Structure 1
């Protein structure tokens, strides 16, 4: 790798580095060491066994599968790990110098993800993220929510590539449902070689009827405790002269966009909407 964070969390190029400072991988945050010879300077993980983020075979195979699929549908200007000097990033795959595809196999925190996405946007580059490796799953969990994107055909969606089985999964029509924001979605699997079929896929997103809150859910809300929740319940009672449980009896809850951090029952009780950090979405306005 040609760039790493120093101990001051500044991203520096290997050619500008020295042997006195400490350096950390920009992807996994593990220690790396500076390697310098007559022809080149670069960083290497201190333990080769830890170099799983970009070098392991699952990641390499996934990138090759994506590139081969792109060539099948006619893309020609495809480069691997092209260095973008302005933002000091080396995306996995770049198409026509204007589209980036990241095959994200290692866990990445939201702040680093937002920084990467915003850096690409600053250059006018469209960036598409496909999950694999540690993120690969047959189901969606909260850890996946930060990667959600949106388009008219698929609604809120997310892509995963299983490079061991040459399959790409489209999770589409993602939404929150019910008082506790249960994640709902549909999933369709494509062979990576059939990527054109994926791109042309236009499912019918059916509406979902609301459900009435039941005794089990009310009991669950009643048992919720903690400094913040106790204050919320007390404030609601003082303002409305009734408990939140009494207010929620008989209420119906439908679907919401998968962009909210607070549960639907709390929003129904008047709490201001709090948004998840989702760099691919404009979540602070109801415009998705």
Structure 2
């Protein structure tokens, strides 16, 4: 930890501490050790076998460095380092005062379980604090698929789906924004830094390459009897179809909302199989699409969008269905009747 209390209960930063003085943990009141050297960030540490819960987790040098840098980035006049909230037995890495509200900022460098993450979010929410999670460089390198990103994804009208990182070597924020998942389930979108640079996070794959990769995955998945591929094939059998016969237009479903941790092309395929059950000339309503999406949802593992409200997830599903309808309209499959109904004028091939 970066701060501790002296014998007068004043909070002291490790950078300003004196080796001859005595310091205590603000949570458990145990005496702590000042650690400061040329190869480490100045910090306080508990003695071995400490039972202090809020401050017992060991911190890497990257974590300690990042907290100092973030405090400087946001402005030390607006930041409180590691304030201990006694009623929660929690301590955010930073507490930022902005206008008339306070924000808890957590700089996460190490893995954390879904259960622990939920507990922390619920604690802050119950206390009336908004929380912003900023991820360390290890996450920046490893967060490639929606499976790795799901619990960190946040949504805003300005940024779309986004994740925030802090890079200690460059000393800058990196924001991945307007994130979607391609047909194979990998994140794509844009990235910008607090230094002012912006770049594509990952360019979309060509349709022909996606088709080749996916057909190979289907072949291997069925050959080795992988559960998810067998489950999807069984759905196809029950509706007089084959998983290998993916309609060509479904390979273009490559800009999906991050709602499932599986291949969006397969999602579009199962939706299209249900569409095939209708006759040409049939009326297709918004309610039909919602029922189909609910029916096939049991065949996919949904993303755990822990940083989002229920309404944000509902709205995201609405955008997903509109995107699917737009795909069908572009290929002359559906004709618009009104905002929530369409006529089936052709069947996908």
TM-score with structure 2 setting the length? 0.57
Residue 211 of structure 2 aligns with which residue? 214
Residue 159 of structure 1 aligns with which residue? 164
Residue 314 of structure 2 aligns with which residue? 286
**Root-mean-square deviation over aligned CA pairs:** 3.5
Q: Conserved in 1, the CA contact under 8 Å of 2:176 and 2:192?
A: yes
Q: Deviations over 1:176-229 (max 9, x none)?
A: 111x222112112224xxxxx79xx9x9xxxx9995763442342233132343
Q: Give structure 1 stretches of 5+ with no counterpart.
A: 2-12, 16-31, 36-40, 46-50, 192-196
Local SS of the residue matching 2:191: strand
Q: Deviations over 1:66-98 (max 9, x none)?
A: 112222xxx734211111122211100012362
From the superposition, tell whether residues 159 and 44 of structure 1 become closer, same or farther in structure 2 (CA, over 3 Å): closer
Residue 26 of structure 1 aligns with which residue? none
Question: What is the distance in 2 between the residues matched to 1:43 and 1:155?
Answer: 33
Question: What is the distance in 1 between the residues matched to 2:53 and 2:190?
Answer: 43
TM-score with structure 1 setting the length? 0.68
Q: Give structure 2 stretches of 5+ with no counterpart.
A: 2-26, 30-47, 272-295, 317-349
Q: How does 1:31-180 map to 2 (within 5 A)?
A: 33-34=49-50, 52-53=58-59, 56-71=60-75, 76-96=77-97, 98-137=102-141, 140-141=144-145, 142-178=147-183, 180=184
Question: What is the distance in 2 between the residues matched to 1:283 and 1:233?
Answer: 31
Q: How many residues align?
A: 234
Question: What is the distance in 2 between the residues matched to 1:132 and 1:214?
Answer: 34
Q: Conserved in 1, the CA contact under 8 Å of 2:236 and 2:242?
A: yes
Moved >3 Å (runs of 4+): 41-45, 138-142, 208-213, 247-250, 282-285
Higher relative contact order (CA 8 A, sep 6+): 1
Local SS of the residue matching 1:214: helix
Q: Conserved in 2, the CA contact under 8 Å of 1:156 and 1:172?
A: yes
Higher percent of residues as helix:
2
